[in-house]
C-alpha cells in the first residue's frame, strides 16, 4: 500500500505526536483493546487500578512482572525510529507524548518525550516519597521498600489516578504555542482513555492540523481532519519520508 503525502513539514512547523499501544504492536508488545489485547485476557482494566493493588498486590505485581518480561524482549520498530528521527530534524519544534509505558520510544532515541502513563521499568514506594527508580526485575512477590517497609509499586498511572500535572502542562503549553504551524499527530491509539484522548481537542482549539495514523478507526477518529489507516511501523516512515530525506 502507498500512503499519500503526509503533513507538510516547513521551517516553522511544530509537531506534537501522541502515541498509544498500537505503535508498539509491531515490536511484539500486546495492545489493550485490539485483537489479542491485554484488557481482553487479563481484565487489565481491573488490575491497573489502586483498588486492585490494595486488594491483591501479588496479582497486580504478577501482571506487571509478566509485562516487563515480554517488553524487555521487544525492540523499537520503524515507527518508533521515524518519530525519533523527526525529533532530531525538528529539535524543540517537536514533542512526543506517549501513553505507552514500554520504554521503546526512549530505546529508539526519543528524548523530547513525555510518558503520560508512567514507566513499566520504574518502581516507586506506595508509602514513602522516595523517588521512583529504574527497576527491570520481575518480582515473584510484592517487593518492600528498604527505607520504610512499605509496598513498592510499578511507577505507572493507574485508572482513577491523576496524570503528572507537569506532564500535561508541558504538552498543553506546546500545543497552545503552535497555532497554524502546529501538526497534531496521534498514532496507534484507540482514543478511549482520557485525558490523553482529549488532547486532539486542545490541538484543534489551538488551530492545529490533525492527523490520526491507526490500524482501524478509533473512538475519536471524527475529531481528526486526516485519518491514515495502516500499521504505524510502515505509515509513519512513509508520511515523514520527505521531511526525513
C-alpha cell at 2: 502507498
Q: Supply angle C-alpha 30, 101, 133, rounded to 5.
A: 135
What whole-number distance in Å separates Cα of residue 227 and Cα of residue 230? 10
- List the x/- string, 188-217, binding to ligand BV8 by CB under 6 A: xxx-xxxx------------------xxx-
β-bridge partners, 119: 155
Report whether 114 contacts 170 (CB < 8 A): yes
102 binds ligand BV8 (CB under 6 A): no
β-bridge partners, 238: none
Residue 103, binding choice from ligand BV8, Zn ion, none, Cβ under 5 to 8 Å by partner class: none
22 binds ligand BV8 (CB under 6 A): yes
Three-state DSSP at 4 gives coil
Report whether 15 contacts 86 (CB < 8 A): yes
Range in contact with Zn ion (rule: CB under 5 A) among 1-9, 148-156, 167-175, 205-213: 148-156
Q: Is 117 a catalytic residue?
A: yes
147 binds Zn ion (CB under 5 A): yes
- Comparing CB distances to Zn ion, the nearer of 131 and 165 is 131
β-bridge partners, 183: 15, 209
Range in contact with ligand BV8 (rule: CB under 6 A) among 28-36, 83-91, 133-141, 145-153: 28-36
Residue 199, binding choice from ligand BV8, Zn ion, none, Cβ under 5 to 8 Å by partner class: none
207 binds Zn ion (CB under 5 A): no
User: Per the residue annotation, which of 80, 105, 117, 155 is the catalytic one?
Assistant: 117
Residue (of 146, 144, 148, 129) closest to 61 by Cα position: 144
- List the x/- string, 122-141, binding to Zn ion by CB under 5 A: ---x-xx-------------
* 120 backbone dihedrals φ, ψ, rounded to 5°: -60, -40
What whole-number distance in Å separates Cα of residue 27 and Cα of residue 22? 10
103 binds ligand BV8 (CB under 6 A): no
* Those residues with Cβ within 8 angstroms of residue 107's Cβ, 6 or more apart along the chain or in another chain: 75, 76, 80
- Comparing CB distances to ligand BV8, the nearer of 13 and 214 is 214
Binding residues for ligand BV8, per CB under 6 A? 20-22, 25-26, 31-34, 37, 48, 99-101, 117, 156-162, 188-190, 192-195, 214-216, 218, 231-233
Task: List active site positions.
Answer: 117
Binding residues for Zn ion, per CB under 5 A? 125, 127-128, 145, 147-148, 150
Amino acid at each position: 500500500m502507498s500512503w499519500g503525502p503526509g503533513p507538510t513539514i516547513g521551517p516553522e512547523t511544530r509537531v506534537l505526536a501522541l502515541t498509544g499501544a498500537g505503535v508498539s504492536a509491531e515490536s511484539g508488545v500486546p495492545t489493550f483493546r485490539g485483537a489479542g489485547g491485554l484488557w481482553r485476557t487479563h481484565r487489565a482494566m481491573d488490575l491497573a487500578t489502586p483498588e486492585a493493588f490494595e486488594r491483591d498486590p501479588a496479582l497486580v505485581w504478577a501482571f506487571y512482572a509478566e509485562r516487563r518480561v515480554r517488553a524487555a524482549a521487544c525492540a523499537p520498530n520503524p515507527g518508533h525510529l521515524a518519530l525519533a528521527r523527526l525529533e532530531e530534524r525538528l529539535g524543540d519544534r517537536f514533542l512526543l507524548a506517549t501513553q505507552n509505558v514500554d520504554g521503546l520510544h526512549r530505546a529508539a532515541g526519543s528524548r523530547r518525550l513525555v510518558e503520560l502513563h508512567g514507566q513499566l521499568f520504574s518502581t516507586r514506594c506506595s508509602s514513602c516519597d522516595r523517588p521512583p527508580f529504574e527497576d527491570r526485575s520481575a518480582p515473584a512477590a510484592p517487593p518492600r521498600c528498604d527505607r520504610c517497609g512499605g509496598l513498592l509499586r510499578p511507577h505507572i498511572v493507574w485508572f482513577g489516578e491523576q496524570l503528572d500535572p507537569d506532564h500535561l502542562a508541558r504538552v498543553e503549553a506546546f500545543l497552545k504555542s503552535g497555532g497554524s504551524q502546529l501538526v497534531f499527530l496521534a498514532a496507534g491509539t484507540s482514543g478511549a482513555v482520557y485525558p490523553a484522548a482529549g488532547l486532539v481537542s486542545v490541538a484543534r482549539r489551538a488551530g492545529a492540523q490533525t492527523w490520526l495514523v491507526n490500524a482501524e478507526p478509533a473512538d475519536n477518529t471524527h475529531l481528526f481532519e486526516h485519518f491514515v489507516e495502516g500499521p504505524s511501523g510502515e505509515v509513519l516512515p512513509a508520511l515523514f519520508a520527505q521531511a526525513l530525506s
